[in-house]
């Protein structure tokens, strides 16, 4: 928002507004704190460098973006739109770089075959309970109170699994890697309960079908000659 605001001031048709922008820029040059003016100047230089070294970066084919306007041919509105898009892309790159540095919270970036979860607003509002949503978010970032996390947070001295006594009882171990839960059928319990409910609903129809005897002799005698 600040980049957009300062872009409007910098490229305003009013000369006094442009003068005010330049004076504010001079006063904030020496300050170490982040400000929108310095961000705007950096992103404008970044945009110029991208134009000088631009090339094909996707799989659309060579020359697909040949008709893209140059900066000197853009209107102020088009230039501002390109800047806001650049700010968004750079922020996303910085966020990913930071997450890759996180030993625990960045693990989800390494998932290759994770099932996509529907997190639409309607589902979050009307279908998911607050407890289920909290579990989902904390499970993605590995913030659930597993024994390993409790030991890391100083809440307990041991991070053992209470069932198989594994030394590092992480969330992955609880959900997928506990030998006791595997041998006792805990991982298959929900699946078995669903099959049991289906079987109980189909059982009466199966019994009824088995009790009916298909009389072929009656079929032949009742058929027209």
Residue 47 is predicted with a pLDDT of 80
pLDDT over threshold 70, residue 114:
no
Most confident of 11-15, 79-83, 185-189: 185-189
Distances (CA, A) of 52 to 45, 71, 199: 11, 10, 67
pLDDT tier for residue 224 given thresholds of 50, 70 and 90? low
Residue pLDDT, tens place only, 155-211: 988 899 999 999 989 988 998 889 999 999 888 998 899 999 999 999 988 888 887
Q: Which of 51-55, 66-70, 183-187, 201-205 comes out lowest in average pLDDT?
A: 66-70
Task: Evaluate if pTM is beyond 0.75.
Answer: no
């Amino acid at each position: 928002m600040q980049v957009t605001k300062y872009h409007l001031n910098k490229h305003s048709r009013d000369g006094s507004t442009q003068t005010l922008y330049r004076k504010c820029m001079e006063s904030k040059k020496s300050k170490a704190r982040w400000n929108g003016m310095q961000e705007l100047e950096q992103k404008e230089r970044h945009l110029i460098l991208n134009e000088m070294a631009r090339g094909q970066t996707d799989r659309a084919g060579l020359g697909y973006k040949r008709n893209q306007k140059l900066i000197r041919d853009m209107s102020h509105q088009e230039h501002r739109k390109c800047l806001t898009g650049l700010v968004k892309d750079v922020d996303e790159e910085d966020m990913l770089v930071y997450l890759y540095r996180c030993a625990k919270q960045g693990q989800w970036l390494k998932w290759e075959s994770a099932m996509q979860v529907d997190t639409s607003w309607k589902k979050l509002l009307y279908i998911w309970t607050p407890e289920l949503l909290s579990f989902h978010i904390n499970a993605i970032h590995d913030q659930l109170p597993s024994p390993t996390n409790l030991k890391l947070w100083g809440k307990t001295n041991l991070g053992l699994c209470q069932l198989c006594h594994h030394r590092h009882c992480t969330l992955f171990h609880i959900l997928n890697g506990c030998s006791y839960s595997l041998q006792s059928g805990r991982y298959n319990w929900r699946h078995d309960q669903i099959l049991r409910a289906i079987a109980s609903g189909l059982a009466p129809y199966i019994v009824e079908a088995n009790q009916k005897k298909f009389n072929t002799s009656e079929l032949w005698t009742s058929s027209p000659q």
